[in-house]
Amino acid sequence: MNKILLSTEQIYRGNLLLVNKDFPVKTSGEGGFVPVDSRFPEILIKSQAAKAFRWILEEIGGSNEIIPVSGYRPSAEQEKIYESSMEEYGELFTRKFVAKPYHSEHQTGLAIDLGEKKEHIDFICPDFPYRGICQQFRRRAAHYGFIQRYSEEKEAITGIAHEPWHFRYVGYPHSQIISKKGLAFEEYIAFLKRFSAHKKYVFQRKGQLPIHVFYVPADASGITAVSLPEQGVHEISGNNSDGFIVTHWPDGTIDFRR
């Protein structure tokens, strides 16, 4: 086994950060942003999320019909959007659709709002219907690491109203697990705490070795030791709260899409 040491700061880094009204952004995305599409150089997201987004559009042939509306937002921009929404639409609307500064997934660089191409696109609530090319994107999203973050049936859990246009990159296989189990991201982060290095969650893959996922609570000392198998490769993400999520590919190949 290989032992690695993780610092408290690493709790706030990675693809599986839970950001909501209870858990604010601590790192503002840490950089590493790229344009989600060369036609929209001002809309930035994390590089792996951008690759996954382009892979989906390429597969479904949606480049000319799906428009990226909003990606990474620094805190000042999120604050401006929040205040403008309060002035224009009022508190009730804003609380349903706009997160407070430091409580928005957009500040991680892992979230993107999408709209169906049309003459006018609403910045706060872009139209992304459950039909046509938009639905094709939605159906393929989990195969490439994305989830539709805010569904109507999970509103009481997420604290955000139904947003058909808002997608969050969590990476594969997490997107598939979340989708197949019908979980909100909050529920998934809680679900993973059932598993440990001694009792891993096993994600089965046809014709390939399974992927193992488990949770490691952060040590109160500020340094957490994690033992990992010598064979294969792994990814480690903080959960933005109290620990780390380890994803292990025994065959040594990380899948970014499936």
Cα separations in angstroms, 52 against 95, 143, 153: 30, 9, 26
Whether 183 contacts 191, CB under 8 Å: yes
- The secondary structure of residue 105, as a DSSP letter, is G
Q: Please give the helix or strand (H or E) that residue 204 lies within, else none.
A: strand 201-205
Cα separations in angstroms, 189 against 3, 118, 167, 217, 245: 24, 36, 17, 12, 9
Q: State how far the Cα of 151 lies from the Cα of 183, in Å rounded to an integer.
A: 10
Catalytic residue (one of 163, 186, 187, 235):
163
User: 252 phi and psi, to 5 degrees?
Assistant: 85, 5
The pair of structure tokens assigned to 226 is: 């994690």
163 classed as catalytic = yes
Whether 101 contacts 137, CB under 8 Å: no
Q: State how far the Cα of 129 lies from the Cα of 16, in Å rounded to an integer.
A: 27
Active site (catalytic) residues: 163
